[in-house]
Structure 1
Amino acid sequence: MEKMDDLGADEALRRNPGALEALNDPKGSRPDPSEYLSQNYIDNHIAKFDDGAVRFTTQSKIDQYGTLGNKEAFTMTKSEFDDIVNETGGDLAQIEQRLGLNPGDLTGDDAVIAWVKKQDLGEVKMPSGNEGGVIEEFWIPGGKTSGGVSEGVVDLSNSNIPFETYPF
C-alpha cells in the first residue's frame, strides 16, 4: 500500500485487494487487469485513447528494428501528452518524471516522440505489469504511470504503422 501511496495511485486502486496483490506479484506472474478491475473501469480507460496514442522511443531503435516498438509498447493518450507539454513548457526532464521514466530516457539527442492516430493504432490494452518494458520501481496497477498519466499497451511491431513526430 505504501508504494501505491508513494506513486500516486488513486483511492479506488489503493483500496482494491486485487490491485494490491498484482503490485506485490513479481513481473511475469501478475494477473490480467480484468481480474481485479471492473469492465467499466477498463472501458473508460481505453476510451481515453480515442484521439490516438503517443509513443516515446529513439531514432536509433526505429532505424534498427524498423518499427515504433514491440508487441507490448507502452503509449500515452494524445490529449494528456498535449496537456503535459503545456504544463511543463516542453521540459523533457519534467515529462520523464510525469511518465515514470528513468532520468535521461527522453533527453538524449536521439529521442523521438511519435503520435499514432486512432485509426492506425489497433487494440489498446490495459497494462498488466508483465510487459517487457515495465520499470519495476515505478509500475502500479490501473493503467497509470507513477506520475498519474494514463498509459496503454499497443502492438507497434508492424513497420507499416504510420505516425507523426513532434520536434523537441
Structure 2
Amino acid sequence: MSIGKAVIRPLKDALDDMPVHVRQLSEMFRRHGQKQNRNTSGVSDLDATDVPSPLQNGWKPDGWTPNDVLGAGKGGRPDPGDYLDGDYVRDHLDQFAEGATRFYRKGSLDDWGPGNNGTTYVFPTDQLQNVIDRSATPQDLANTLGLPENFFDGADVELRDFAPHELDGLRMPSGNEGGTDVDKWIPGGYLPSGIPEAVIDIPETSTGLKNGEFRPTNWPGSPRDFTFGAR
C-alpha cells in the first residue's frame, strides 16, 4: 500500500463518520474558500477542518442541513435560529461587541448609500484590521474578504466603522439579504476564508444620488479613507 493510500483511507473513514452537516459545510468551505486556488488533490480533499470549529458544533443536529438551506434559494432561506444553536448565535454576535466595519467603493456609496435593500454585511472591526495587516497584496485582501479580485484596483475605497450603538438589528445572515453573493455564501456566519460576518439594518433615509437625496449625514457609521499598505 502506498503512503498516500495509508494516509487518505483513515481520513476518508473519519470523514464518513462525521455528521452530515459537517461534511456538507466542509465541501462548501473547500469549494468556495482560498484552498480552491491551491493544489487540493489528495489529503486536502478529505480534510474537514476548513469549517470553523464553533460552526461544526453550533449546527443543530436535526432538521435543516447546509444543503437544504442553500437549496431553498435566496428569498426562501430559513431564519438562522432554525438550524443554529442559540448559544452559538450569541457567541458569534459577541465578536461584534466593539463595533463593525465594512469596505465600500466610494462611487457606489455615493450613488446608493451604505445599505442594500435596507441592510448591509459587516465584519468585526478588530478582526478586519487584522486581516488588512496580514494581507500581502490588494488581491490577497480582496480574496480573503470575498470581494472581486480587482475591488481595490483604481477605485477610491472607504472603510466605514459602525460603533456598537449603530449596529441596529445585528444578526446572523440568512442568505436572503441584498448583497448576498449567491455563488459564495455559506450558512453559519463565516466567509469561506473563516472571517466572521453579520448583518445590520440601514435606515431608509440613508440614500444616495440614485435612490433618493444625497445626505451622508443620515448615514450610520464613520468614514475612514483606505489606501492599501498605509499604516
Q: Same fold (TM over 0.5)?
A: yes
Partner residue in 1 for 2:52: 10
Higher relative contact order (CA 8 A, sep 6+): 1
Partner residue in 2 for 1:105: 151
What is the Cα deviation at residue 51 of structure 1? 1.2
Matched to 1:9, the amino acid is: V
Distance verdict in 2 for CA 1:87–1:155, change over 3 Å: same
Partner residue in 2 for 1:35: 82
Distance verdict in 2 for CA 1:107–1:153, change over 3 Å: farther
Secondary structure of 2:64 counterpart: helix
Partner residue in 2 for 1:167: 226
Residue 140 of structure 1 is aligned with which of 186, 193, 199? 186
Distance verdict in 2 for CA 1:110–1:13, change over 3 Å: farther
What is the Cα deviation at residue 120 of structure 1? 2.3
What is the Cα deviation at residue 144 of structure 1? 0.6
Partner residue in 2 for 1:44: 91
> RMSD between aligned alpha carbons?
2.2
Mapping for residues 55-66 of structure 1, pairs under 5 Å: 55-65=102-112
Distance verdict in 2 for CA 1:152–1:48, change over 3 Å: same
What is the Cα deviation at residue 55 of structure 1? 1.4
Residue 76 of structure 1 is aligned with which of 115, 123, 144? 123
What is the Cα deviation at residue 164 of structure 1? 3.1
What is the Cα deviation at residue 103 of structure 1? 1.6
CA distance in 2, matches of 1:140, 1:30: 12
Q: Normalized against structure 1, the TM-score is what?
A: 0.86
* Runs of 5+ consecutive residues of structure 1 not aligned to the other structure: none
* Runs of 5+ consecutive residues of structure 2 not aligned to the other structure: 1-23, 34-49, 207-217
Q: Between Structure 1 and Structure 2, how many residues are aligned?
A: 166
Q: Tell me which moved more, 157-166 or 36-45.
A: 157-166
CA distance in 1, matches of 2:154, 2:119: 23
CA distance in 1, matches of 2:134, 2:171: 27
More strand by share: 1
What is the Cα deviation at residue 36 of structure 1? 0.2
What is the Cα deviation at residue 19 of structure 1? 4.1
Q: Normalized against structure 2, the TM-score is what?
A: 0.64
Partner residue in 2 for 1:152: 198
Distance verdict in 2 for CA 1:4–1:160, change over 3 Å: closer
Q: Tell me which moved more, 30-39 or 16-25.
A: 16-25
Distance verdict in 2 for CA 1:29–1:108, change over 3 Å: farther
Please tell me whether the aligned partners of residues 129 and 141 of structure 1 are also in contact (alpha carbons under 8 angstroms).
yes
CA distance in 2, matches of 1:117, 1:153: 14
Question: How many percent of aligned residue pairs carry the same amino acid?
Answer: 26
Matched to 1:61, the amino acid is: S
Secondary structure of 1:18 counterpart: coil
Secondary structure of 1:125 counterpart: coil
CA distance in 2, matches of 1:149, 1:134: 15
